[in-house]
A and B are shown apart, each in its own frame.
Chain A
């Protein structure tokens, strides 16, 4: 005998009632005065699965509902009638601390593995299979947006520009796509100051302010090699794909697509992105060392330029915007590059 409320078919009107299983076969619902409100074969009654402490719903074919908080009582009925095809096992897992602990470990391990290996690998595959047309279209849009918002016309003299192009060509000819696979654009940095960045289709942008800091050809060649590596490894496209895959992951974790725009899930997404960007920088540095060595240039000089940029931007106050600020842990990188010089 379980206590609950009996709702009339499809109606908000209810009566305090009791349900009882007769002979393990028939479900009978009676009012508190003993009058029979409903009677039906138990197997024809739809029973919602147990979940936390929320109410259990026993729905009759005519739309009447017996609602009860006596979850154990309903489970006893199901056992007595030998009805086992319901989600009871999920509830038992949810209530057992052992499965909860196992689930935490599993979710943590799978989540970590996915973010460390899975997502970058998927993004890399997608990036490498992106048609050149698409990469060009994206690069055009990005470039025109940055051009109109930040960049100015270059104030370098034609001879200076020519020199930069020659050095760039030298680096490019030692890179996988060859001399015609990349293009150097020179711009006034504006608020971006001393900066360089790569676009997915092979364009590399360098600002006047960065050029002004260079004391030695090898230094700027290091920057070019680093940016060219971003192009070759399709880092830009990877970031785009990662950014579009992370919401999908969030939807799986939270079980709901509508949570994607919530602040509490956006913040971690941003953090994950910046971790990937750090990884990309390390890869690009390693590639730059390879290219520079092949050219007979000195990676340590590249490190000198980084150190100078760092000193200029992060001297007394906060780091100013520039090539350094989106390249974290500069000191680690400088050390790494100087060490690479020694190795053969």
Chain B
């Protein structure tokens, strides 16, 4: 690993690593949750910052961790504004439903601005090696990526959704900067369609396989081994095993497809025109982690949640890498003109996450 003192621009490969521990995050999570309850929600802003700092601070590229710098007070103000707006909306809707429609229309137009404000807030308060990220999305870009494309996608019965997904990933990735230098991703919409086709194909094959194996086994047992003596119990067992497998398949589909698209987007991302990112997550492993996390969280009445989050982050980060062409220590934070305070505070309420 090259460190900051060594000069020169030798290419180097850096691995991402998540070093957080489930037991450590559990204690942070539960104590912050208890404090949030005791303070009737006021502490939630501090809880959010501590969570974010823990995850950023545990995510390493090479020998350095990310960091998070947002001020809890700002987030508290943002949440208060949002709550006030929500109450105003509820009250006006109760007075006259037409106000509710008007507010919804307003929210629709404010939405692209909110997306930008939130992404900018997140990026600007995230740093790596003392250098800040930034997000440069404009109103109309957000409008196209988050409103126009999804509408086009759904109104064509999903036919354009893969293209919409690519538009969103472009908007997200290509507007992020680090030390004022851009991230660029480029991949054809055709490849997204290809991945969707693969996902659907594998899904159908897997469903057929479940069907064949479960009922084939049942048929063998019932007809061959038991000399035709039929007990309905076997059918019931077969049906419930098959149903379980189908549920599993259904729940796996979205995370698996999402993982493939993230791999595609990240692996085609180049930072500053020379450093390449690579993501090699296995869609099957991510689907397995996601579904078992859901089941375990359910069985433990929510108390498994911190381990679930850490477990997924550990896997995701272990499959991410950075092929650096030259030193990373030449980057310097850009001087940023201040974001309007209100925008920043509102932005702090929302947090749209991209599956990096």
For B179, give its contact among A12, A55, A102, A130 (CB under 8 Å): A12
Chain A CB within 8 A of B31 CB? yes
| Across-interface contacts of A253 in B (CB, < 8 A) | 33, 302, 305
For B130, give its contact among A11, A87, A99 (CB under 8 Å): A11
B297 touches A103 (CB 8 A): no
Chain B CB within 8 A of A93 CB? yes
- CB-CB contacts of B23-53 with A at 8 A, as 1s and 0s? 0111111111111111001001011101101
**Which of B187-195, B259-267, B330-338 forms contacts with chain A?**
B330-338
A100 touches B31 (CB 8 A): yes
With contacts A131-B97, A252-B36 taken as known, whether A87 is within 8 angstroms of B46 at the C-beta atoms is yes
Chain B CB within 8 A of A13 CB? yes
Chain B CB within 8 A of A57 CB? yes
With contacts A90-B35, A263-B291 taken as known, whether A11 is within 8 angstroms of B255 at the C-beta atoms is no
Q: How many chain B residues touch the partner (CB < 8 A)?
A: 68
| Across-interface contacts of A103 in B (CB, < 8 A) | 30-31, 33-34
For A95, give its contact among B27, B251, B328 (CB under 8 Å): B27
Q: Across the A-B interface, give the 3 residue pairs with the lowest CB-CB distance, nearest first.
A: A54-B57, A103-B34, A7-B130
A residues sitting closer than 8 Å to B (CB atoms) are 5, 7-8, 10-16, 48-49, 51-55, 57, 63, 65, 67, 87, 90, 93-95, 99-100, 102-104, 106-108, 110-111, 129-131, 133-134, 137, 252-258, 263-268, 271, 316, 318
- Beyond contacts A54-B53, A255-B33: 12 other A-B pairs, Cβ-Cβ < 8 A, are A10-B332, A12-B330, A16-B5, A63-B130, A90-B46, A90-B50, A100-B27, A134-B93, A252-B33, A255-B32, A266-B294, A268-B301
B30 touches A104 (CB 8 A): yes
The docked-state distance in angstroms from the alpha carbon of A265 to that of B351 is 16
| Across-interface contacts of B254 in A (CB, < 8 A) | 263
Chain A CB within 8 A of B308 CB? yes
| Across-interface contacts of A133 in B (CB, < 8 A) | 97
Chain A CB within 8 A of B54 CB? yes
The docked-state distance in angstroms from the alpha carbon of A284 to that of B74 is 47
For A12, give its contact among B27, B30, B50, B130 (CB under 8 Å): B130
Chain A CB within 8 A of B206 CB? no
With contacts A110-B37, A263-B293 taken as known, whether A12 is within 8 angstroms of B58 at the C-beta atoms is no
| Across-interface contacts of A12 in B (CB, < 8 A) | 4, 128-131, 179, 328-332
